[in-house]
Structure 1
Amino acid sequence: MMAADQALPGVPPSLSAKVVGSFAYLTVRDRLPTILTKVIDTIHRNKNKFFEEYGEEGIQAEKQTISLLSKLRNELQTDKPALELTDSLQDKESWNQYLHRLQGDQESVSWFKSPWLYMECYMYRRIQEALWLNPPISEYDVFNEGKTQSFFESQQAVMASCTYLEGINKNVEELSKSQLYEHFNKLLQVSLWGNKCDLSISAGQDNSQKASPIDSLDSLQPFILVNDSNMLWSTLMSAQRPRQSGKSTAGRVDIVLDNAGFELVTDLVLADFLVSSGLVHEVHFHGKCFPWFVSDVTANDFQWTIRQTMAANHKWMSKSGYRWQSYLKEGVWSYHDHPFWTQPHEFCDMAADAPDLYATLKRADLVLFKGDLNYRKLTGDREWDHTVGFDTALRGFGPAPLCSLRTLKANVQVGLQPGQGEKLTFQEPDWMTSGKYAVIQFYIPELEEQV
Structure 2
Amino acid sequence: MAAVAALPVSLSARFKGSFAYFTVKDRLPQILTKAIDTLHRHKNEFFEEHGEKGVEAEKRAISFLSKLRNELQTDKPVTPLEDELPDAVLWNQYLDYQRNLSNGNGEPSWFQSPWLFVECYMYRRIHAALAQNPPIGSFDVFKEGKAQNFFESQEAIIALCTYFQELLKNIKDLDEKQLQGELFKLLQVSLWGNKCDLSFSAGEESSQKSSPLQCLEDMVPYIIVDDMEKLWSLLINTKKRNTEKCNVRVDIILDNAGFELVSDLVLADFLLSSKLADEVHFHGKSIPWYVSDTTKSDFNWTIKQLQAANHMWMSRCGINWEGNLKKGVWVYQDHMFWTLPHVYSSMAEVAPDLYADLQKSNLILFKGDLNYRKLTGDRKWEYTVPFHQALNKFHPAPLCSLRTLKSDTQVGLKPGQGEQIQASEPEWMITGKYGVVQFDAAP
TM range (shorter): over 0.9
Task: Give the match for residue 14 of structure 1.
Answer: 8
- Output the CA distance in 2 between the equivalents of 1:87 and 1:11: 37
Task: Give the match for residue 79 of structure 1.
Answer: 75
Task: Give the match for residue 195 of structure 1.
Answer: 194
Task: Give the match for residue 45 of structure 2.
Answer: 49
* 1:415 correspondence with 2:412: yes
Q: CA RMSD in A?
A: 1.4
CA positional deviation for 1:173: 1.1
Deviates more, 1:16-25 or 1:152-161: 16-25
Task: Give the match for residue 206 of structure 1.
Answer: 205
- Output the CA distance in 1 between the equivalents of 2:393 and 2:208: 36
The TM-score normalised by the length of structure 1 is 0.95
CA positional deviation for 1:260: 0.1
Task: Give the match for residue 218 of structure 2.
Answer: 219
5 Å-filtered alignment, 1:389-428, equals 389-428=386-425
CA positional deviation for 1:11: 6.8
* 1:133 correspondence with 2:127: no
5 Å-filtered alignment, 1:12-411, equals 12-19=6-13, 20-22=16-18, 25-26=21-22, 28-106=24-102, 107-240=106-239, 247=244, 251-411=248-408
Aligned partner letter, 1:139? S
The TM-score normalised by the length of structure 2 is 0.96
Aligned partner letter, 1:311? A
- Contact kept? 1:240, 1:250, Cα under 8 Å: no
After superposition, the C-alpha distances for 1:322-361 in whole angstroms (9 at most, x for unaligned) are: 0000000000000000000001001000011110000011
- Output the CA distance in 2 between the equivalents of 1:76 and 1:344: 17
**Secondary structure of 1:240's partner?**
helix
Summarize the Cα distance change of 1:233–1:23 in structure 2 as closer, same or farther, 3 Å threshold: farther
- Output the CA distance in 2 between the equivalents of 1:116 and 1:158: 34
CA positional deviation for 1:15: 2.7
CA positional deviation for 1:18: 2.3
- Contact kept? 1:250, 1:279, Cα under 8 Å: no
Unaligned runs of 5+ in 1: 1-7, 447-451
CA positional deviation for 1:10: 5.1
After superposition, the C-alpha distances for 1:142-201 in whole angstroms (9 at most, x for unaligned) are: 000000000000011111111111111101111101110000000000000000000000
CA positional deviation for 1:286: 0.1
CA positional deviation for 1:137: 0.7
Summarize the Cα distance change of 1:389–1:242 in structure 2 as closer, same or farther, 3 Å threshold: closer
Identity %: 59
- Contact kept? 1:241, 1:248, Cα under 8 Å: no
Aligned partner letter, 2:307? M
After superposition, the C-alpha distances for 1:109-160 in whole angstroms (9 at most, x for unaligned) are: 1110010000000000000111111111110000000000000000111111
- Output the CA distance in 1 between the equivalents of 2:366 and 2:434: 17
CA positional deviation for 1:25: 3.5
